[in-house]
Structure 1
Amino acid sequence: MLFYRDVQKLFGGHLKVADYFEHLASSASFVPCVSLSDNSRMDASNPWFGKRSVEYLPANYDYVFLAGMDWRDYLAVDHPPNQPVINLIQHVRHADPAEDVYQYLTQRAIRICVSQQVADAIQQTEKVKGPVFTIPNGVDLPDLSLEKSYDVIILGVKQPGLSREIHEQLTVSGEKVVLVSEQVPRDLLFEYLAASRVAILLPNVTEGFYLPALEAMKYCDLVIVPDCVGNRDFCKDNQNCLMPEYNLEAILASAAQAKHLLQNEHVLTVFKREMGETLRAHNLAKERQAFLEIMANVKKLWAM
């Protein structure tokens, strides 16, 4: 199977495609290969760093794996007219006619959506050709044991303005806060999370899944994250996180609530138990099994 990636900057979408590459590599039935664009970064921030990049010749392969705008490059080169395509859909924006990826829903493919919300969104367009599956994102995270040096971490890369407002308000109130408003290496982000009691996460207004919520549940005592559509299946308000309305006042109110909850050992234990259950339900082994089950039936699925 041929993968294609243009890794000019490390995004979560690249990491998930890399997970699917490794899932396939773990199988004795398939051999994944990757073609990296000439513009791709060739350093440790690239998940395929150190792997051989092949020329992008889909016609030389039995299957292709596409995500996001990979369709553009695939359709621009020679490929067999009935070549099976596995298409990973990572955002509800694929169902928005104003988005550049919307046009590709009419291309035949076996589609894998990272959340049920994504699957529902694209199917409601009535444009999709081919079967649609949902495999919730999985993640395996390292165990870290660090002293809690921060009261709050704000993950504001996607909302820098709002994150600075929250940081200012919490700092004035005496909280020790670490603000992450630009991308940092993942291992450093995990250390920041592990050293923080409360995580305030600021996703895009809509997401396909929003993996940082799981990462925060792994390392922090409490997680605050607004609804962003794709997190509805695994983020449960007042069970494994707090889900305020997406505005400054509501988020600050949740921060105050979290400060109070931290004083209640019984409530905190319940939250931590629920976060642990959520993490156990979203691991890479389950994701891999579900994907390889699809691949075991790929010929039959394509012939449907």
Structure 2
Amino acid sequence: MAHQNLHGKTMFSHVANNSPVPKSIIFYRDFQEYTGGHQKVADYFQHLRSSSEFIPQICFSKSSLWNSSNPWFPDYQQQIEYIPGNYDYAFLAGMDWQMYLSAPRVHNQPVINLIQHVRHADPAQPMHQYLSQKAVRICVSREVELAINNTGRVNGPVFTIDNGIALPSLSGVEKRHQIFVFGPKNPVLARELVAELEVAGIKTHLVDHWLPREHLLEKLAASQIAILLPNLTEGFYLPALEAMHFAELTIVPDCVGNRSFCHDRQNCFFPEYNTPALVAAVNDALQLLKQPEQLNIFKRNCASTLAYHSLERERNEFLGLMRQLDSIWSSL
């Protein structure tokens, strides 16, 4: 049964399947480069793998990249044919619908659709058309849920399971950078921001190109203040949680999908998305570094945010939902 937890989030009780036979689920990915979206699909795949009640399998496009950046490398590198009809369920995210709808499948197969961005609600985006396809949808944030529900096009129930994240331990990293600006998603504004800060005599370390995740985490751990520049809209924005864990202070502007966990002057600085507001946030953050008691409160708030956004909590909520998938689907 669904119920609300202390955070006001929907939780799912652990109701076992009537059948002892594990349920099979087919995934599909076109992996061209590492993204947070691919990582989250990999997390959901792993949640199912960790349970004896489900057997996930995955098929990749022939052009998919195979190296250490691929979360499924090397265990799933063998090519299998994508035939959803051979499985109990199908798991789809993003544009996977395109492949699914053209593949051999069975009538009324239960579909789990992970929705990771508010852009699904935008009629100009190609993934918008698939909201009318029947599915049980999982949104990575409340903001995404609101966005797609407001379209009036969603066919099937919508649940929110707030993103969880697993973070490695990095010990002994020297704080070499007072200000680290990570801006590959908005390099023009990143360079403008750095220019403004350096005019004011504030030294910065700018990265305006993509980094492997492990290198980004090392940069965050080596920084006192991390400034992250997401797209103007995101479905969640996981790097903000990474910065809260590794940097002393995080500055990240509002990108819609981060509103549920980025709380201004509590666990981060959450300015409007423009250069003057970001410069003002830097000045405020520099002042906070000089106030140990206030900084400790800030860090405790970050720890609380990170504790809630655990991969284990995400796993438990997802498996709870999966155990009820047959009954949810039959009621549609």
TM interval, shorter chain, is: over 0.9
- For 1:6, the equivalent position in structure 2 comes to 30
- For 2:15, the equivalent position in structure 1 comes to none
- For 1:99, the equivalent position in structure 2 comes to 125
1:259-274 correspondence runs (5 A):
259-274=286-301
Give the unaligned 5+ runs of structure 2.
1-24
Q: Secondary structure at the match of 2:206?
A: strand
Give the Cα separation in 2 of the matches to 1:173 and 1:7: 42
Could you report, residue by residue, the CA deviation over 1:158-191 in whole angstroms, capped at 9, with x for unpaired residues? 0000111122232343434221211111111111
1:22 is displaced (CA, Å) by 0.2
Q: Does 1:41 align with 2:65?
A: yes
1:158-197 correspondence runs (5 A):
158-197=185-224
Could you report, residue by residue, the CA deviation over 1:132-161 in whole angstroms, capped at 9, with x for unpaired residues? 110000001012231110001111010000
Give the Cα separation in 2 of the matches to 1:50 and 1:73: 23
Could you report, residue by residue, the CA deviation over 1:14-55 in whole angstroms, capped at 9, with x for unpaired residues? 000000000000010111111011111011111111123421
Give the Cα separation in 2 of the matches to 1:140 and 1:10: 16
Matched pairs, number:
304
Give the Cα separation in 2 of the matches to 1:50 and 1:143: 24
Give the Cα separation in 2 of the matches to 1:230 and 1:62: 32
Query: Which residue, 264, 286, 294 being the options, matches 1:237?
Result: 264
Supply the AA of the counterpart residue of 1:256: N
Supply the AA of the counterpart residue of 1:5: R
Supply the AA of the counterpart residue of 2:282: A
Q: Does 1:248 align with 2:248?
A: no
- For 2:87, the equivalent position in structure 1 comes to 61
- For 1:297, the equivalent position in structure 2 comes to 324
1:281 is displaced (CA, Å) by 0.5
Give the unaligned 5+ runs of structure 1.
none
- For 1:137, the equivalent position in structure 2 comes to 163
1:61-100 correspondence runs (5 A):
61-100=87-126
Instruction: Give the alignment's TM-score, normalised by structure 2.
Output: 0.90
Q: Show structure 1 runs of 4+ deviating over 6 A.
A: none
1:57 is displaced (CA, Å) by 1.0
Supply the AA of the counterpart residue of 1:199: A
1:95-134 correspondence runs (5 A):
95-134=121-160
Q: Give the alignment's Cα RMSD to 1 decimal.
A: 1.0
Query: Which residue, 241, 260, 268 being the options, matches 1:214?
Result: 241
Could you report, residue by residue, the CA deviation over 1:53-110 in whole angstroms, capped at 9, with x for unpaired residues? 4211111111110000000010011211211100000001111111111100000001
